[in-house]
Amino acid sequence: MKNYSQEDIKYLKLLSEKFPTIQDVCTEIINLQAILNLPKGTEHFLSDLHGEYESFLHILKNASGVIKTKIDETFDTCMTSSEKQKLATLIYYPEEKLSLIKKEVEDLNEYYKITLYRLIEICKVIASKYSRSKVRKAMPKDYEYIIDELLHANDNSYNKEYYYNQIINTIIQLDRADAFIIAISKLIQRLAIDHLHIIGDIYDRGPGPHIIIDELMKYHSIDIQWGNHDIIWMGAASGSKACIFNVLRICARYNNLDILEDGYGINIRPLTEFAVEEYGKQKGDIFKPQNYDKIERREDIDLLTKIQKAVAIIQFKLEAEVIKRNPEFNMEDRLLLDKIDYKTGKIEIGGKKYEMQDTYFPTIDPKDPYKLTEKEQIVVNKMVKAFENSEKLQNHIKFLYAKGNIYKIYNENLLIHGCIPMDENGNFVQGIIKGEKYEGKKYLDYIERIARQGYFADKGSEDKKYGEDYLWYLWCGKNSPIFCKNAMKTFERYFIDDKELGEEIKNAFYNFSQDEQQCVKILEEFGINKDNGHIICGHIPVKFKKGENPIKANGKLLIIDGGLSKSYQKTTGIAGYTLIYSSYGLTLAEHEPFTSTEDAIIKETDLHSSKRIVEKVERKRINDTDIGIELRRQIKDLEQLLDAYKSGILK
């Protein structure tokens, strides 16, 4: 008989409340052992969404092309190509597509009957890799019993076939066919992706990051690795002034102020009025919004130009405050307002003088260039209050903290948005936090702690203030693992016409991206098996059209930023990647541009994806995954409980 400590017995007593009999314990052990032998669930990895909500939501709905592939395989020659596409569109957008189909179909009952049979068949195929219990938990409660019966009916049995047909007929007779089609379509979507990984940068550039997060908050199984464009919004929600004015500038630059006003209920009128009053005479193109030629009204372009310039100057002043109170950030080279000769319109950087493209600075005092004017200070205070009081923004940021990390290890893969900072010799960079040096995994672990502190520490405390400053540093600091460049050259790119001066040099990590031994070194630093592990990141768009390969270092490193953001598609030549990790291995899907949701519904245009195998393996079971490790631990605990029952230690 095994000896149990008092702590063991205390734990087993708690466990016995859930499994009060020997039979209960045995049943659960049998169930868990069976689950271990099921195929591993399919994981999908996406990065750099950048507010492109229509493309992203369609990728979720079509499971990066997986659902269409299942339709093609299931019905092969039994359906025409157009019929298959119509069925696929119905699964992606059941409510919208049904309303159109009902206007076209002559015999609606016959359409319902055929469609319900087809949907059940697809659902059977997609559900086949899961336990019956897991599938039932994913079902909509209103139709749980009926769907379960249809999925597991034996078609070879005459009695069961009659029973099956009667269920379908009754659904139609009771006018519940629409609701049932919608329910089973959403179940298919739900089962097609077992777990979703977002490798950073939900925010900025595109028009709907808030829409994306609304959807992610409802998602059944997800983790997020923070990108630098997420961190800046996290810092803004925490109350960091420097972060807030970076967010405001980017929204103005990409004509996305609607995200603030309509998406988050943030009133920017004080800022608008200030910009018009102080920068009313602003001229030139350098502060015009991106793609301003697509903005219909000239007055809108002018207003966005004034706002962007006004915000940029405030941003540079606020960033100077952060840099000066944190000398360990080593970012004094970003203090440039005091390097301007306001009489000649020239600036000296690195011992060389440059002509300024814009010399209109109505809110800068040349004698004290970093001092906020009285009116600027009022605007800053109002914007801080507006960000802190936006309930929806705060809920979204709490979600990012709850589901997010700087990095994550999942099924022997290291997920990080940017990089593990390295020097030119391939050594891990030593980051300094409050005078202490950290590198590799310890550096990233401490960074995450400080990032959480910046949001959750007591308001007004030193921890809170330092955490807010560090969130800004993660956005643009030299050794930030999610910025990964030597400097953010916002000032130079606005004011100086010199491409070399405005170049942002990538961290040495990217120089070693093809070096398998360096990637193995990183995997070992994080305790990951070098034979099975991979590093998966985004952040740097892959120039696919120039022949750049996202698969590097003999498959050890995968960079999956393929340009889902429209602003990057000219660079990449495609419209995003999805990395798919099924029980058979890793596959990379390369997406073509998505037109619109309206086209997808009406014209049945799909987001076409070409797939290539990254790594093929002998079929993995749940036993081979992180979930398998947890299930084996649970089995071990249950076996101890069983022994405690049998040995009389517990009733």
Q: Which two tokens stand for residue 400?
A: 């990012």
- The predicted pLDDT at position 601 comes to 93
The reply to whether 291 falls in a domain is: yes
The reply to whether 544 falls in a domain is: no
SS3 444: helix
| pLDDT greater than 60 at residue 213 | yes
Mean pLDDT calculated for residue range 33-38: 94
Burial class (CB in 10 A: 0-12, 13-18, 19+), 345: middle
Whether residues 138 and 179 share a domain: the answer is yes
Distance CA 405, CA 416 (A): 9
The reply to whether 616 falls in a domain is: no
Q: Which amino acid is at 248?
A: L
SS3 443: helix
| pLDDT greater than 60 at residue 549 | yes
Distance CA 329, CA 473 (A): 7
Whether residues 97 and 238 share a domain: the answer is no
Give 3-state DSSP helix, strand, coil % of the chain, rounded to 5. Answer: 55, 10, 35
Whether residues 341 and 447 share a domain: the answer is yes
| pLDDT greater than 60 at residue 157 | no
Q: Which two tokens stand for residue 197?
A: 């990984």
Mean pLDDT calculated for residue range 619-637: 95
Q: Where are the beta strands (DSSP E) in 489-608?
A: 534-537, 551-552, 557-559, 577-582, 585-591
Last residue of a domain, one of 491, 521, 536: 491
Round to the nearest angstrom and report the end-to-end CA distance of the chain. Answer: 16
Among 455, 423, 456, which residue's Cα sits nearest to residue 439?
423
Number of domains into which the chain is organized: 3
Distance CA 35, CA 130 (A): 8
| pLDDT greater than 90 at residue 88 | yes
Whether residues 178 and 100 share a domain: the answer is yes
Whether residues 449 and 314 share a domain: the answer is yes
- The predicted pLDDT at position 315 comes to 98
Q: Would the CA dihedral through 398, 59, 44, 178 be positive or negative?
A: positive
| pLDDT greater than 60 at residue 558 | yes
Burial class (CB in 10 A: 0-12, 13-18, 19+), 612: exposed
Whether residues 119 and 29 share a domain: the answer is no
User: Which range is least confidently modeled, 116-120, 155-159, 541-545?
Assistant: 155-159
pLDDT digits (tens, 9 = 90+) for 386-444: 999 999 999 999 999 999 999 999 999 999 999 999 999 999 999 988 889 999 999 99
| pLDDT greater than 70 at residue 464 | yes
SS3 82: helix
Distance CA 456, CA 450 (A): 10
| Cβ atoms of 551 and 588 closer than 8 Å | yes
The reply to whether 246 falls in a domain is: yes
User: What are the contacts of 531-534 at 24+ separation with CB within 8 A?
Assistant: 532/412, 533/412, 533/413, 533/414, 534/412, 534/413, 534/414, 534/558, 534/586
| pLDDT greater than 70 at residue 155 | no
Distances (CA, A) of 575 to 52, 366, 598: 11, 46, 18
* Helix or strand holding residue 18 (H, E): helix 6-18
Whether residues 483 and 443 share a domain: the answer is yes
For residue 117, what are the contacts with CB-CB under 8 A and spacing of at least 6?
168
Pairing of strands 413-416, 534-537: parallel
Distance CA 312, CA 248 (A): 9
Domain range for 136: 65-192
- The predicted pLDDT at position 608 comes to 81
Whether residues 316 and 365 share a domain: the answer is yes
Whether residues 29 and 150 share a domain: the answer is no
User: Which 3-state string (H, E, C) describes 245-294?
Assistant: HHHHHHHHHCCCHHHHHHHCCCCCHHHHHHHHHHCCCCCCCCCCCCCHHH
Last residue of a domain, one of 491, 524, 542: 491
Q: Which two tokens stand for residue 294?
A: 């697509």
Per DSSP, what are the bridge partners of residue 552? 557
Q: What is the dihedral of CA 134, 140, 146, 147, to 10 degrees?
A: -50
Whether residues 380 and 237 share a domain: the answer is yes
Distances (CA, A) of 257 to 248, 260, 261, 413: 8, 5, 6, 37
- The predicted pLDDT at position 156 comes to 58
User: What are the contacts of 25-30 at 24+ separation with CB within 8 A?
Assistant: 25/638, 25/641, 25/642, 25/645, 26/642, 28/638, 29/635, 29/638, 29/639, 29/642
Distance CA 443, CA 430 (A): 8
Whether residues 389 and 293 share a domain: the answer is yes
Distance CA 482, CA 504 (A): 14
Distance CA 142, CA 182 (A): 12
Among 143, 139, 490, 124, which residue's Cα sits nearest to residue 287?
490
Question: Tokens 């270092």 appear where?
Answer: 553
User: Which range is least confidently modeled, 288-302, 327-341, 449-463?
Assistant: 288-302
Q: Which two tokens stand for residue 546?
A: 């120039």
Distance CA 107, CA 367 (A): 81
The reply to whether 361 falls in a domain is: yes
Mean pLDDT calculated for residue range 508-529: 96
- The predicted pLDDT at position 1 comes to 58
The reply to whether 446 falls in a domain is: yes
Distance CA 572, CA 562 (A): 6
Last residue of a domain, one of 491, 526, 551: 491
| pLDDT greater than 90 at residue 40 | yes
Q: Which two tokens stand for residue 638?
A: 């249950």
The reply to whether 309 falls in a domain is: yes
pLDDT digits (tens, 9 = 90+) for 352-399: 999 999 999 999 999 999 999 999 999 999 999 999 999 999 999 999
Mean pLDDT calculated for residue range 557-564: 93
pLDDT above 90 covers what percent of the chain? Answer: 82
Q: Which two tokens stand for residue 569?
A: 């598609």
For the beta carbon of residue 177, count every other beta carbon within 10 angstroms: 20
- The predicted pLDDT at position 154 comes to 62
| pLDDT greater than 80 at residue 106 | yes
The reply to whether 576 falls in a domain is: no
User: Which range is least confidently modeled, 117-131, 151-165, 495-509?
Assistant: 151-165
User: Which 3-state string (H, E, C) describes 96-143?
Assistant: HHHHHHHHHCCCHHHHHHHHHHHHHHHHHHHHCCCCHHHHHHHCCHHH
Whether residues 379 and 461 share a domain: the answer is yes
